[in-house]
Amino acid sequence: MKKIAIVILSFLLSITLSAVLALYVLTHTFGSGQTVKSWVKDSDIVGLGVKNALVLVDDIELDEAVKQDIGERLQEPVAEKVLEPQLEMAIGEFYSWLEAPKYELLNFVVDLGSNNQEIIKRVGAIVEDHYDDLPICDETSQPKQDGSNEDGEEDFQLCRDPDANASQVADEITKQLTDNEGLLKPVEVKYEAGSDADNTLSSVYDWVRFAKSAHILLILALLLFGLPIVFLSKNHIIGVRRLSRALINSLAIPVILALAVLIFLPETFGLDKIDFGYTGNNPELFHQTINQTFSPLIREVALDMTKVYLRIALPLLVLATGTWFFARHLVHEQQRLAKKKK
């Protein structure tokens, strides 16, 4: 009966240890605002998103090289100076809200207008440089006054007037953007009590609170399942050896896999092979762009989670292995002394 109990306890110990390590990894990666900010910055997900956004829009009939040029020229004023700082601010506000002692409505202000003049200036230059690259407007591409086409659907096609001057068009667009007082004004992010968003955020807040308290419960469970293995054995040294072996069995394969991930993690993740339901003109280009845009972020997340896991699992595995060898040596010594006495 003792051996059966030890086997069951070893199994429960393995499951509990896996849960402890998983929770540790999640709380030290997704549970840290600074870590999430570093993912955004190191992967350049915002810059790549701005750079590649036009490539994903079929309705704008421009060469891919022109779209890439426009994206690259907007990357610095829009992504680096506006979107990325504001996203980092929003992440900081969200994690500060999570740390609050009691649940409150999430509320913060996003200021997207901090670089208006530079963006407007850059847009004007882009229009002037690439206006002639647009297709010439004809009767079929001209939208009606209400902004719809013949089928009554919204028309989003861009075209140019062959008689218009690119410089004049750029000046007119720049003037309209400058005169638009509502352009990119600060936006208050606020959720009403009882709304779907509020209910979702409330659930997130509760789960985070539960995860923090679950650490203590899982560690107590480790002791609850681990110590009986020692005391149910023939002697404490054999019990320590069995406990060490249970830990080694739980950690060895995951640690080897984690080391393999750390060494062989690819630069891209085959997102171009996933069917996103895209029905545009160039599905191959769409999937390649998605792969290039999001793969760096996935890589950063995977690397960080792997490093955090190894930071605690590898020392535990080394300690368990050393303890197992030492306990094994002591058991052999006890057996040798027992034979001598006989």
Over residues 158-206, the pLDDT tens digits come to: 777 777 888 888 888 888 777 765 566 677 777 778 888 888 888 988 9
Determine the average pLDDT of the residues in 232-247: 90
Contacts of 82 (CB under 8 A, 6+ apart): 112, 114, 115, 119, 184
Neighbours of 292 (CB within 10 A): 17
Determine the average pLDDT of the residues in 264-277: 82
For the chain, the helix, strand and coil percentages under 3-state DSSP, each to the nearest 5: 70, 5, 25
Band of residue 59 on the pLDDT scale cut at 50, 70, 90: low
pLDDT over threshold 70, residue 242: yes
107-110 and 187-190: which strand pairing?
Answer: antiparallel
Digit-coded pLDDT (tens) for 282-322: 788 788 888 888 999 999 999 999 999 999 999 999 999 99
